[in-house]
A and B are shown apart, each in its own frame.
Chain A
Amino acid sequence: MRRLLLAFTIFFALVMSAAIPARADQTVWSGLVIAQNVQQPEPIPVELTRIERPLKELFGYNQFQVIGQSQKTLKTGQEDWLATSKFFGLHVDARGESAAGYVLNLKLYKEKELLLETDAKLSKRSPLIIKGPQVGGGQLLLVLVVQ
């Protein structure tokens, strides 16, 4: 009788542990990327290898350089952070977490000018790419990835 009770307790605990998914802190990588076409392109940065194909196919450039980045581990889903380069700043304000991902408010600054603002629900499995302004012969891209 006791053995059966113990077996049932273990079974119940296993079922409940399977039912409640383990929640782990996740890191959001946000980067300012300059896309260009050059004769001898440098290898794509590690952070962008996951989206190399869509970057090249969608934007038509052969080189992608990270000019500013930030890596933020989200614990409450309410954090905010900044990825900056010399002239640009990307402010990210996390406004909650859902099962699908994080609700973010993004603001792209050129120095102190607000160029672009957007709200997005960033999925944990789906990167976000934002096409920014033309910079010289290239293009500024904003990339957000949940790692």
Chain B
Amino acid sequence: MKTFEEKWTAWLDGQLSGKELVEFEASLPDKAAAEAEKRDAKKLGVLLKRELGGDVLRNEEFFSHQLRERLARENVEPPRKQAAEVSTWWTIRRLFWTGTVSLALFLVFAVFVMREKNPAEQSQYLTQILNARVDPAISPNATISMFEAKEDHVTVLWTEGLQSLPSDYAAK
């Protein structure tokens, strides 16, 4: 046994016929209003079919759409990669120049450090007397000492007791 709503829906869709159709239309309190509502429902159905039916993709259209999108993405990606390569700092050329500049800086500092090392050799700045001796047979009482006059940067070997000589020996 169908309810009124089921019979109403079937009537709107034009699916009632024969005795059932006659009995349902006879049960309608206002048949003119019902007919107007039926026409509106049909119009709405046509409108919905027309407007919504266009967006529905068939299978082959769906796959071809996906393929097109994928191809478009792949076509766009290489420039992005190129841009990434260009923007990166450590290209081979820049690495080469960085290495070269680093080497140059190292050399500069090495030179300065080597030059700074020389003042540390101040102990060798003054003349050094390594050893000294006199002939004991000629000057038996001779003594030798040495000292540095640092203010004048002079080193002196000082002897005492060497054999004295007459002034004639001062001749040129």
Contact = CB atoms under 8 A, between A and B. Distances in A.
On whether the two chains bind one another, the answer is yes
Interface of A: 4, 8, 11-12, 15-16, 18-19, 34, 36, 51, 53-54, 58, 65, 67-68, 85-88, 98-101, 103, 110, 113-123, 125-138, 140
Interface residues of B, number: 44
Given A113-B135, A133-B163, A134-B165, A67 B97 contact: no
A54 B151 CA distance: 9
Nearest to A111: B169
Contacts, number: 159
User: Main SS of chain A's interface residues?
Assistant: strand
Contact of A127 (B114, B154, B165): B154
Given A15-B108, A115-B162, A127-B127, A53 B152 contact: yes
16 contacts: A11-B104, A12-B107, A18-B111, A34-B170, A99-B124, A100-B125, A110-B169, A115-B162, A116-B132, A119-B130, A128-B155, A133-B159, A133-B165, A135-B164, A136-B170, A138-B170
Contacts of B110: 19
Contacts of B159: 116, 130-133
Contacts of B156: 54, 58, 128-131
A138 B164 CA distance: 10
B134 interface: yes
Contacts of A131: 156-159
Nearest to A68: B172
A131 B158 CA distance: 5
